[in-house]
Amino acid sequence: MDPFEPYRNEPFLDFGDEATLTSFRRTLGEVAGRLGREYPLVIGGAHVHTEERLDSLDPCFPDRVVGRASMATSEHVEAAFDAAYAALEEWSRRDMADRARHLVKLAAIMRRRHAELAAWEVYEAAKNYLEASADVAEAIDFCEYYAREAMHLSGRARTYDHPGEENTSFYQPMGVGVVIPPWNFLLAIMVGTTVAPVVVGNTVIVKPSPSTPVIAAKFMEMVAEAGFPPGVINLLTGADADIGDALVDHPRTRFINFTGSVATGLRINERAAKLQSGQRWVKRVYLEMGGKDALIVDETADLDLAVQAAVASGFGFQGQKCSAMSRLIVVEDVYDEVLERFVAGVEALRVGPAEENADVAAVINQRQFEKVLGYIETGKVEARLAAGGGRAEAAGPGYYVQPTVFADVPPSATIACEEIFGPVVAVMRAKDFDQALTYANATTYALTGGLISRDRSRLERARREFRVGNLYLNRKITGALVGVQPFGGFDLSGTNSKAGGPDYLRLFTEMKTVTERF
Ligand code: NAD
């Protein structure tokens, strides 16, 4: 059906291979020599430099400037809408295969620059080597996958015949959208949430997180190289206070594709609902938001697997994944043993600079650092501290937080209910599997979750009753693969748009039906 070779997930760089590791260290050195440069806004393909600059800092060495991004104002917002609408006319009329080839080309460029892009992520977001490579691989996957999925939307929709008439239903683009990604999957989510609306014929304005504007600038270099026409993808970096509301409120915004926290998501939802003067449509808003993800371990579980899965799910990328395990719910019979082994696993994690490939590096910025430390203080009042418990000063001058575990956390505790988004895990004791499942389902979030068990009937029950968008049985609960595990939650975790899934592209289209009687 599509003209491309079969889809498969992009492999991560293999850092177990000595040559790959040595080569990556060399790439890190090369990228280090390019830190501190200035990056423009990109509006209609033109580079726009502003006087004021947004400094992107290395979380592990906050006085190291990774790059200096231009800062957009409301004037640039208007110019970006002009450019995106100017590009829309031609781009929206192209063949689907033509647009899809741009994504395949972009994927090829990212594949060639895989190590370099991962190196930028090490500096800009404090990802260790594997986390950085996984993010680049996911960005490539989004391009390759959506290129192929787009071909399924290029023809007629499935409808029945009616005598004497020709009836045709087809999908068409909606218009100009605003893409607002978070900093945590700085390349992957930005790329995925951008190229999906674009491949089906929309044009977009991308507003990345102020914490990670440099990777966004790198993305725009590749967008140009891939041959996207000017104005199809526009980049506005800057402060949310200057341009966030302006983009959301704008009467020419047709849709908003947001990934981030509940607080920001709900604000966007509310503002976008208001009809602005001159606005001719109901804005479509997609919100993929936070999680308070739980892993249940029951008394039948393989405890080696349970501990390994818990450490990886809780502390990979410093716990700053929407899918990260922030609650470990253990059935009483094995509680003490699991807790002891989990704490031992957590205490063995090496905290230090991402560029040295530490297991746990710094959290993203000062604000997040203070927020996480604040939750740790709350945890000390609400529960029993079992590991960590504060700043990891020995690791260096960056925003390092000790991998922290609280034990005997009651289900009503703040640290059992609110998303912390850092290396902090609440361990909860349940008297049996029933109670564990009740605890797991007790938050307003429903993003990821997992169960480690050998009991067939419980695994089946979890399939039905564990209320999360992505449920993992007998493995870690992070690392969803594009095209394999469509990703997105229920409830306050979001609108369940399922990134990397077969229904995703449809969200950025409208269906038109034409009936002709002869
Ligand atoms: P955030 O809500 O602070 O920011 C998200 C994006 O919104 C950023 O681009 C930010 O600059 C922008 N923003 C902030 N205020 C805005 C405003 N007033 N108007 C318009 N845009 C505004 O979230 P974050 O700290 O960047 O990311 C972490 C959050 O993202 C966590 O809650 C995490 O769970 C969530 N997340 C969810 C998923 C998912 O798929 N469900 C994936 C990754 C991250």
Chain segment 298-331, per-residue pLDDT in tens:
999 999 999 999 999 999 999 999 999 999 999 9
Amino acid at 231: G
Q: How much of the chain, in percent, has pLDDT values that exceed 70?
A: 100
Residue with the smallest CA separation from ligand 1 atom 40 is 288
Indicate if the pLDDT at residue 214 is higher than 70: yes
3-state DSSP assignment of residue 156: strand
pLDDT digits (tens, 9 = 90+) for 440-493: 999 999 999 999 999 999 999 999 999 999 999 999 999 999 999 999 999 999
* E strand residue ranges, 369-498: 384-387, 404-407, 424-430, 445-446, 448-452, 470-473, 490-491
Indicate if the pLDDT at residue 88 is higher than 90: yes
Among candidate residues 131, 149, 322, 355, the one labeled active-site is: 322
The 3 state secondary structure assigned to 367-393 is: HHHHHHHHHHHHHHHHCEEEECCCECH
Within 10 angstroms of residue 248's Cβ, the number of other Cβ atoms is 23
Indicate if the pLDDT at residue 17 is higher than 70: yes
pLDDT computed for residue 1 by the predictor: 60
Distance CA 220, CA 47 (A): 10
* E strand residue ranges, 115-175: 165-173
Q: Which residues contact 65 (CB under 8 A, 6 or more apart)?
A: 35, 36, 55, 56, 57, 58
288 lines ligand 1 (CB under 6 A): yes
The alpha carbon of 176 and the centre of ligand 1 are apart by a number of angstroms equal to 20
Q: How far is the first Cα of the chain from the last one, in angstroms, to the nearest whole number?
A: 31
Q: What is the mean pLDDT of the chain?
A: 98
H runs (alpha helix) in 250-331 = 262-272, 303-315
Distance CA 48, CA 235 (A): 10
The alpha carbon of 488 and the centre of ligand 1 are apart by a number of angstroms equal to 14
264 lines ligand 1 (CB under 6 A): yes
The candidate with the shortest Cα–Cα distance to 388, out of 402, 407, 372, 370, is 402
450 lines ligand 1 (CB under 6 A): no
Where do we find the tokens 């808003």? 285
Mean pLDDT score, 119-137: 98
Mean pLDDT score, 49-54: 97
The tokens for 41 are: 């806004």
Q: Which atom of ligand 1 is nearest to the CA of 487?
A: 40
Sheet with 203-206: list strands edge to edge: 46-48, 41-43, 233-235, 203-206, 176-180, 255-259, 284-288
Mean pLDDT score, 367-379: 98
393 is known as an active-site residue: no
Mean pLDDT score, 256-285: 98
221 is known as an active-site residue: no
Distance CA 263, CA 277 (A): 26
pLDDT computed for residue 3 by the predictor: 85
Residue with the smallest CA separation from ligand 1 atom 28 is 260
Among candidate residues 288, 355, 382, 419, the one labeled active-site is: 288
User: What torsion, rounded to 10 degrees, do the Cα atoms 178, 184, 186, 187 define?
Assistant: -100
240 lines ligand 1 (CB under 6 A): yes
The alpha carbon of 351 and the centre of ligand 1 are apart by a number of angstroms equal to 25
The predicted model scores a pTM of 0.98
pLDDT computed for residue 168 by the predictor: 97
